[in-house]
Amino acid sequence: EAGVAQSPRYKIIEKRQSVAFWCNPISGHATLYWYQQILGQGPKLLIQFQNNGVVDDSQLPKDRFSAERLKGVDSTLKIQPAKLEDSAVYLCASSLDRNSYGYTFGSGTRLTVV
Amino acid sequence: KNQVEQSPQSLIILEGKNCTLQCNYTVSPFSNLRWYKQDTGRGPVSLTIMTFSENTKSNGRYTATLDADTKQSSLHITASQLSDSASYICVVSPNSGYALNFGKGTSLLVTP
C-alpha cells in the first residue's frame, strides 16, 4: 500500500516570499491533516479535513496560511508571506475516518525561511 | 498546558542496553494511546496503539504499557540497536477523535 506522499522534501525561501506544499493521502482515507513541527517539539495540528470540508482549523494562522483539499483527495498548504518563525517541518497525515484509525504520516516537507 | 508530558527529554544509551521512556497524560476522556518513532527528517511511524482496555502491546523489541488509572504509559526498548536512535513521541487521542494530543518526544541516541 502506498503511503502518504508529500512534496517537496525540502524548501528554502526568503522571508516574505510565498511557498506551497502538496500532499497526496492514502487512497480511501477520508480525513487529512496538516501539522507544523518545530525543531524539538511535537507536531501541532494546523488544519483537519474530512473529505473536502474543514473540520478544525482553529490553530491555522489564517492571515498567512491557507489550505485546500479539492475533490477530497490531494491537498495543498500555502504560506504567504512567510516569516522566519515558519521554519519547521510540515507533516501531512491521513486516516480512514475521524476516529483516526489507520493514521499515517507522510515524510514531511522541511521549510527553512531565511 | 500540554496534556501529554514525556520524560526524559533526551537519553543516551549504549548499544545492546534496554531503556524505558515515560509518558504521562491528562487527556480525558481517552480513546487510545500511540507511540511513534520519528527518525530525523522523516515523518512519525506508528509503533504501538493501545485502547483504554489494553495494558500492554508489543512490536518486536518495543513494548508499550498503559495504566489508564494513573494515566501513565511507558515504552520499553529491549536490546537497543543503533537504528533505534530517533525521537519517540507519545500521542493520546480523546474520545471525540478530532485532535490528537502530542507529547514533545524523547530523543534517544544509541551509541556503539
What's at B26, amino acid-wise? T
- pLDDT interval class at A89 (50, 70, 90): very high
Task: Say which residues have a Cβ less than 8 Å from residue A16's Cβ, sequence separation at least 6.
Answer: A81, A82
For B67, phi then psi, to 5°, come to -120, 100
* Whole-number Cα distances in Å, B40 to A3, B93, B111: 18, 24, 16
The full 3-state SS of B4-21, as one line of letters, equals EEEECCEEEEECCCCEEE
Contact (Cβ atoms closer than 8 angstroms) between residue B86 and residue B37: yes
User: Residue A2: which pLDDT band, with cuts at 50, 70 and 90?
Assistant: confident
pLDDT digits (tens, 9 = 90+) for A19-76: 999 999 999 898 999 999 998 888 999 999 988 899 889 999 999 999 999 888 999 9
Q: Across chain A, which distance is largest between two alpha carbons, in Å?
A: 38
**What residue type is assigned to position A50 of the chain?**
Q
Are B98 and A55 an interchain contact pair (Cβ–Cβ within 8 Å)? yes
Position B16 scores a pLDDT of 97
Separation of alpha carbons B36 and B86, rounded Å: 10
CB contact under 8 A, A42 and B104: yes
Please report residues of B whose CB lies closer than 8 A to that of A8.
none
φ, ψ (nearest 5 deg) of residue A13: -135, 165
CB contact under 8 A, A107 and B42: yes
If chain B, 112 residues long, is cut into consecutive pieces of 10 residues, what is the mean pLDDT of each piece? 88 97 90 91 90 92 95 97 96 74 94 96
pLDDT at B70: 93
Distance, CA of B35 to CA of B80 (rounded, Å): 17
A25 at interface of B, judged by CB pairs closer than 8 A: no
DSSP string, B66-102: EETTTTEEEEEE-S--GGG-EEEEEEEEETT-S-PEE
Evaluated on CA atoms B91, B93, B98, B103, the torsion sign reads negative
- Smallest Cα distance from B95 to chain A, Å: 8
Give the up-direction half-sphere exposure of residue B95: CA atoms within 13 A in the CB hemisphere: 4
pLDDT the model gives residue A99: 63
Alpha carbon A53 to chain centroid, angstroms: 15
* Average pLDDT, integer, range A75-87: 97
pLDDT bin (cut points 50, 70, 90) of residue A100 is low
d(CA B76, CA A14): 43
List the grid coordinates of A88. Answer: 519547521
pLDDT at A72: 83
Higher pLDDT pick, B95 / A94: A94
Identify the closest residue of chain B to A111 by CA–CA distance: B41
* Amino acid found at A78: K
CA atoms of A97 and B47, how far apart (whole Å) = 20
The length of chain A is 114
Q: What is the pLDDT, as a whole number, of residue B62? A: 97
The pLDDT, as a whole number, for residue A1 is: 58
